[in-house]
Amino acid sequence: MKRLALNGSPRGVNSNSRKILSWIFEGMREAGADAPSILDLARVKELEDQRKAFLEAEEVLLVFPLYTDSVPGVVKGFIDSLDGADPRLLEGKRFCFVVHSGFPESMQSEAVTRYLARLCARTGMVLLGSAVKGTSEGFRMMPDNLTEKTRARFAAIGRSLVRDGKFDEEAVGMLARPYRLTLPGKVLFVLLSIANLHNLYWNMMLKKHGGWKRRFDRPYAKQSTSRRQIAKL
């Protein structure tokens, strides 16, 4: 079977999505299958080659981070590029995906999983499984002992994908925990907010990339427009 893996992270090679793919590949190898080739959708200049590889593959695994409750722009651009493709090249294609995020609760990714399930239904692709994992930010930098359980669950997905043609349901369920933020989690978030530590990482990223002074910019706001005028727009 001709398999293909798509890394939908804008970070490309140095991404948490790549790390997750490596864990899934471990399980695929254990089940006796070769790891598929990986295409990084962040390499947007190679879109036509990526599209061609997707259409030629029999089975596709997509892994990407949640961006604003949806897919990253590079993933949306790739999906849009499939418009106009010969429907016969999509009909029956085996498709599965993993969406991960820095949120602890998996419900944050519910909308995008439904979107991709509907994409399969509209195009005739066969959905083999969808998995959601929270608290993924930092996987690429963590030592193995801190990701051992998560690694094992993604490996189980890889094994079952080869052996059974679908994601292991038990592993998917474990990865998705918790669905909602737990009470201790809510208390911790409140305490971090009071101490002004809840945005520590994001503030660090803003400063690192030169966006700190512009963090309150509203480029699309019409500040001089009255509410009455806005209502007429």
Domains by residue range for the chain, with CATH: 3-175 (3.40.50.360), 182-214 (no CATH)
Give the number of residues written for the chain.
Answer: 233
Beta-ladder partners of 64: 99
pTM value is 0.86
Alpha carbon distances (Å) from 9 to 31, 62, 168: 26, 10, 24
pLDDT category, 110, cuts 50, 70, 90?
A: very high
Q: How confident is the model at residue 93 (pLDDT cuts 50, 70, 90)?
A: very high
Q: How far is CA 114 from the centre of its chain?
A: 13
**The one-letter amino acid at 9:** S
pLDDT > 70 in the chain, percent: 95
Phi and psi torsions of 230, nearest 5° = -65, -40
Identity of the amino acid at 190: V
The pLDDT of residue 219 is 80
Q: How many other CB atoms are there within 10 angstroms of residue 40's CB atom?
A: 21
